[in-house]
């Protein structure tokens, strides 16, 4: 009986700590990219009506509180995913990113990989096929889920990013 209780508690603990199948996964040109940790940074550009998110497996250099200045990585083992999307609340200029499905508004998505110093872009004629859902936006954090595939490259799973700047 004790073993059964221990197993049940362990299973509940693993599920509560994200031990399920909802992890962040990145496949780059057919190969899994290791994201032992995820570091998320974002900024909102109300002047462009755009949200910009970068999820990396390393601490990127950020200039002027903007993810737009993050250069493609050249270091082996380092990779990041860049996600740009048109905001889903364009009527409210200052609070233009709200929770909701913005799949149709993804304008750019790419993986930068330091192993071969290249990137894979998912944009086809200005559109990216897949899903992007913003689940929560606070003053300091944006959370969501993404699932995008193009050929042998893909990005999927939940993400969280620190909001660096909301206005230009």
Does the pLDDT value for residue 93 go beyond 80?
Answer: no
Does the pLDDT value for residue 48 go beyond 90?
Answer: no
The chain-wide mean pLDDT, for the chain, equals 83
Q: Domains of the chain by range and CATH?
A: 22-165 (2.40.128)
34-66 burial, b for 16+ CB within 10 Å, e for fewer?
A: ebeebbbbbbbbbeebbbbbbbbbeebeeeeee
* pTM attached to this predicted model: 0.82
Q: pLDDT tens, 9-25?
A: 333 333 333 333 348 99
**pLDDT score, position 8:** 34
More confident residue, 83 or 96: 83
Does the pLDDT value for residue 28 go beyond 50?
Answer: yes
Q: pLDDT tens, 111-131?
A: 999 999 999 999 877 789 899
What mean pLDDT is predicted for residues 66-73? 90
Is residue 151 exposed (0-12), middle (13-18) or buried (19+ Cβ within 10 Å)? Answer: exposed
What is the Cα–Cα distance from 140 to 163, expressed in whole angstroms? Answer: 5
**pLDDT score, position 79:** 97
């Amino acid at each position: 009986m004790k073993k059964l209780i221990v197993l049940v508690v362990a299973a509940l603990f693993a599920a509560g700590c994200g031990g399920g199948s909802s992890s962040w996964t990145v496949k780059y040109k057919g190969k899994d990219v290791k994201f032992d940790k995820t570091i998320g940074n974002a900024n909102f550009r109300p002047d462009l009506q755009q949200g910009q998110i970068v999820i990396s497996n390393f601490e990127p250099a950020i200039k002027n509180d903007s993810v737009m200045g993050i250069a493609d990585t050249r270091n082996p083992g380092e990779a990041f995913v860049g996600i740009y999307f048109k905001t889903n609340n364009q009527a409210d200029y200052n609070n233009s990113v709200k929770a909701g499905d913005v799949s149709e508004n993804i304008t750019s998505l790419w993986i930068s990989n330091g192993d071969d110093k290249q990137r894979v872009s998912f944009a086809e004629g200005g559109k990216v096929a897949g899903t992007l859902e913003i689940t929560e936006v606070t003053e300091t954090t944006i959370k969501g889920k993404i699932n995008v595939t193009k050929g042998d490259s893909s990005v999927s799973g939940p993400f969280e990013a620190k909001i660096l700047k909301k206005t230009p």
